[in-house]
Amino acid sequence: MIDAIAAVMPAANAAFEIQDISVAAPGPGEVLVDVKAVGICHSDLVMVSGAFGTAFPAVFGHEGAGIVLAVGEGVRKVAPGDKVLLTFNSCGECRHCRADDPAYCEHFTALNMACARADGSSRLHSHGHALSDNFFGQSSFASRAIATERNVVKLDDDADLALLAPLGCGIQTGAGAVMRSLEAKPGQSLVVIGGGSVGLSAVLGGVVAGCAPIILIEPQQGRRDIGVEVGATHVIDPMAGDLAEAVRAILPGGADLLVDTSGNAGAMTAALGLIANKGRVGLVGLPAAMDATLALPVIQWLTQGGTVRGIVEGDSDPDRFLPELAALHRAGRLPFDRFVTTYPFAEINQAIADAHSGKAIKVVLTL
């Protein structure tokens, strides 16, 4: 066993506790990573609520970045000393994985949300007791994490791990929703609902794809300001008046593309009335209620030829897409660092509070 520290969630909706833990050596196909930075994502906070039936105490975290310490039997993609990003897990064997579409792996829920190995065992222990782990195949709110060969992506030797950590989920989800899921083309109009890290990443994806105009809908002034800085041509405060009127004042015919990152039922319903003929809506935001539904105006959508679809991880194939995003940032075309704030790992609870209050947008913990 390997000594480490972790931010342990002792019970649903409690505060994180920094604890000494022990980590098992990597098994076949597994990779032991010395975690140097980890982003905090909305999905971590949903899991903290116990909504998915997780057994507590548990270790979450799924935007890890670090250095490979050891590899298990059969691992060929990375070696000790390699810098890596950690991302979502996939089986590699189902029809979607074989088609290089791992975000829709037929075993995605079991591999990413079950918080245990397939045999039910845990890699992590504290004071002799097992912790729920394996969240997104990594549980990287810890100084050491066990991932798999499938969900590690090798980086250049000079990569800035604290900067690139959030690529593993939030940034690739937002940018990928526009660039990959909705297959944006130059000149298409884009509306993004929600100016958090995923929404701002969608704006960035729109800029890379050549979308115009790009409209960001966000209630917080600070986030609207950053939206303009990173490429939104228009910003709208949804609390200032009728949302449809505000959007159609800019786009009389409606939007070609719309991405909802808010998960807000009212916002998603409003989105259905904002599209142009053959407009496409992508749903990214996770609703608060697990049984949330969306009423589709069938006649409108039949006559407009509209499309609405759910999006997982921006349809990412991480081994290809994450290096592409890193290269875009290096070239100055994906400046997501504009909305990243770093905190020491021990300040995880303060970091979450600042994210909730709007003081911070994308939080990255450094070790």
> Peptide bond preceding 10: is omega within 30 degrees of 0, i.e. cis?
no
Predicted local confidence at residue 119, as pLDDT: 83
Q: What is the mean pLDDT of residues 121-130?
A: 90
Answer yes or no: are the C-beta atoms of 41 and 63 closer than 8 Å: yes
Which pLDDT tens digit goes with each residue over 275-301?
999 999 999 988 877 788 888 888 988
Cβ atoms within 10 Å of 309's Cβ, excluding its own: 12
Cβ neighbours around 121 below 10 Å, total: 12
Which of 3.30.565.10, 1.10.760.10, 3.40.50.300, 3.40.50.720 would CATH assign to domain 174-311?
Answer: 3.40.50.720
**What's the whole-number average pLDDT of the chain?**
95
Domain residue ranges of the chain, discontinuous segments joined by +: 2-168+335-366, 174-311
Please state the rounded mean pLDDT for residues 53-80. 96
Assess contact for 12 and 56: CB atoms under 8 A. yes
pLDDT for position 214: 98
Does the pLDDT of residue 231 top 90, yes or no?
yes
- 94 CB contacts (<8 Å, ≥6 apart)? 105, 106, 107
Query: What architecture (CATH level 2) is domain 2-168+335-366?
Result: Alpha-Beta Complex (3.90)
Residue 334: how many CA atoms within 13 Å on its side-chain side?
27
Q: Tell me, what's the pLDDT at 1?
A: 82
Query: What does the pLDDT read at residue 79?
Result: 98
Q: What is the pTM of this model?
A: 0.95
| pLDDT at position 15 | 96
Q: Is residue 71 a contact partner of residue 34, using CB atoms and an 8 Å limit? A: no
Mean pLDDT over 75-92 rounds to 98
Rounded-to-integer distance, Cα 202 and Cα 258, Å: 10
Cα-based distances in Å from 139 to 35, 106, 135, 268 = 10, 21, 5, 31
Between CA 24 and CA 228 the distance in angstroms is 46
Confidence of residue 144 (pLDDT cuts 50, 70, 90): very high
CA-CA distances (angstroms) from residue 131 to 30, 57, 123, 178, 229?
Answer: 18, 6, 8, 37, 42
| CB burial readout 182-215, b (16+ within 10 A) else e | bebeeebbbbbbbbbbbbbbbbbbbbbbebeebb
- Whether 34 has a pLDDT exceeding 80, the answer reads yes
Mean pLDDT in residue range 210-220: 97
Q: Where are the alpha helices (DSSP H) in the chain?
A: 42-48, 95-98, 108-113, 161-164, 170-176, 197-209, 221-229, 243-250, 265-271, 298-304, 318-330, 348-357
Q: What are phi and psi of 236, to 5 degrees?
A: -130, 135
Helix (H, G, I), strand (E, B) or coil at 45: helix
